[in-house]
Amino acid sequence: MTAERPLAAQGALVTGGGSGIGLATARALAADGAIVTISGRSKERLDAALEELGSGARAVAADVTDEAAVQAAVEAAADVAGGLRIVVACAGGSTHMGPLVASDTQLFRDTIEVNVMGTFLTIKHAAPHLARNGSGSIVAVSSIAAAISHPYLGAYGAAKAGIDMLVRVAADELGPSQVRVNAVRPGLVDTDLVAGIFATQPVLDSYLTQTPLGRAGRAEEIAALIRFLAGPESSWITGQSISIDGGHSLRRGPDYSPFAEPVYGADALRGLI
């Protein structure tokens, strides 16, 4: 480690690293010297990300719900001289939107699977490497939906709350090995994943009016917090879920009824089916 490159030669794995917050995080880690491996389901997206990240970065196509694929991605990231020291569990998302009473059960399960099981499998296979190397940092990407109600995004909120508890338990278990585990809770961030929100003015307004700073976040801002939690500057922080949301979590969740009501009807939004 040097003052200029505090993560020099440290192996880092970023799941969901092909775009958005994951790619911004990979850039931030690489800029400070980490040897970054990104993973994701789309090889084309990973290849495009590698062109941006430049020499030294690697990519492994992997679905975080597939345990063998996660294990392979971890092993690839660990195969560097400095060993695996940093893991960012960024892969996630939601296939579910709608009132609980009218929810498609498989879509609900899929959302839990990619977020909770994906983060669990990443921790399960990466943590032993960090522990054997004597220390390390794991950062999971949660959401303010873990802490404040987002009506009609019940699966997503439950999944992100599950990530927060995984982080707390993992931090407790791995602390004796000097492995730190934390989460970040972004609010609305301007990425391709939420393009539909930015294209639907009433929903966007419901976010921004509940955000004291009055704007959406940028992927680079979330990456900066993840980079801080990954590095030596945060050496006495573990087991925390830190909101980075322009103050949104001080107020209430967004109004998704402009998405949900045309699909399910006004009665279903009140539980009447």
Output the pLDDT for position 9. Answer: 92
Tell me which residues are annotated as active site. 156
Output the pLDDT for position 3. Answer: 58
Domains of the chain: 11-254 (3.40.50.720)
Low-confidence ranges of the chain (pLDDT < 70): 1-3
Kindly report the number of other CB atoms within 10 A of residue 9's CB atom: 14
The rounded distance, in Å, linking the Cα atoms of 68 and 245 is: 34
Amino acid at 31: A
pTM for the whole structure: 0.97
Output the pLDDT for position 4. Answer: 78
Output the pLDDT for position 48. Answer: 95
Kindly report the number of other CB atoms within 10 A of residue 3's CB atom: 5
Amino acid at 212: P
